[in-house]
Amino acid sequence: MRVLIIIPAFNEEGNIKSVIKSIREASLDFDIIVINDCSTDDTETVAKSLNVDVISLPLNLGIGGAVQTGFQYAYNNNYDIAIQIDGDGQHNPKYIKELIGPLSKGDADVVNGSRFIDKKGFQSKFFRRLGIRFFQLLINILVRCNITDSTSGFRAYNAKAIELLKDRYPIDFPEPEAIIILKKRKFRIIEVPVEMENRTAGISSISTFKSIYYMVKVTISIIVEFLRSNNG
């Protein structure tokens, strides 16, 4: 199987080197593409110096637009599996093989890495955990899918999921809404336990105020996507 690791990155010059290095240290002989989301720092320069392919977007599209660019690249280059791993260093590449396993066996179309199954590693801040729990309940009510970590950006997708999401992927705070898109189309989504780390450099794009905005916007987006899907 051809596997592509997609790393969306915005102003991650302090993290991107260690992320790529940790992927290689995990003995993962997979292709890597960094989607540089119009960074204003040296993210692009650092990534290119490590001999990985880089797509630099002319405008900042946000995490959704960056990841969708990665899906389009994966589809156009005939990859069988795409792995999304954030550029901030929170995702441990040693779990990538666990993400790929169910896909290679044909047991799932999408595999979500959840920090809340074994409850090890960085568990996120209290208010964000409350939000994640709320999304878990909402998604379960709407599509009968119990995803414990719906905001996780540590995911693996098979070719069928790549084909769908290259054209239809939420732009802003996409991960919970993407579950609705996939489940309404009968994609099989499972979770595997992973450990996550707190970022060691840079600043998270989600501040306390933005967390409230995030909750409201994603809730509305989830409900709208569910209703849209029900109506064809």
The CATH number for 3-230, chosen from 3.90.550.10, 3.10.105.10, 2.60.40.420, 1.20.120.160, is 3.90.550.10
Q: Supply 167's token pair.
A: 């054209």
Q: What is the pLDDT of residue 118?
A: 82
> Average pLDDT over the chain, rounded to whole?
91
* Residue 6 confidence (pLDDT) above 90: yes
Mean pLDDT (whole number) for 173-177: 92
Q: What is the pLDDT of residue 29?
A: 85
* Residue 207 confidence (pLDDT) above 60: no
Mean pLDDT (whole number) for 191-197: 93
Q: Which of 27, 98, 99, 34 is nearest to 66 (CA)?
A: 34
pLDDT digits (tens, 9 = 90+) for 122-155: 756 667 788 899 999 999 999 999 999 999 999 9
* Residue 182 confidence (pLDDT) above 70: yes
What are the angstrom distances between the C-alpha of 28 and each of 52, 88, 150? 14, 19, 25
Q: What is the pLDDT of residue 204?
A: 52
Q: Let me know: does 7 contact 19? Beta carbons within 8 Å.
A: yes
pLDDT digits (tens, 9 = 90+) for 53-93: 999 999 999 999 999 999 999 999 999 999 999 999 999 99
Q: How confident is the model at residue 188 (pLDDT cuts 50, 70, 90)?
A: very high
* Residue 105 confidence (pLDDT) above 60: yes
Could you state, in order of their start, the residue ranges of all structural domains in the chain?
3-230
Q: Rounded to an integer, what distance in angstroms lies between the CA atom of residue 199 and that of residue 202?
A: 7
The residue count for the chain:
232
Q: What is the pLDDT of residue 120?
A: 78
Q: What is the pLDDT of residue 203?
A: 53
Q: What is the pLDDT of residue 60?
A: 96
Residue 175 CB neighbour total at 10 angstroms: 22
> What is the pTM (predicted TM-score) of this model?
0.90
Least confident among 24-28, 131-135, 156-160, 167-171: 24-28
Q: What is the pLDDT of residue 127?
A: 74
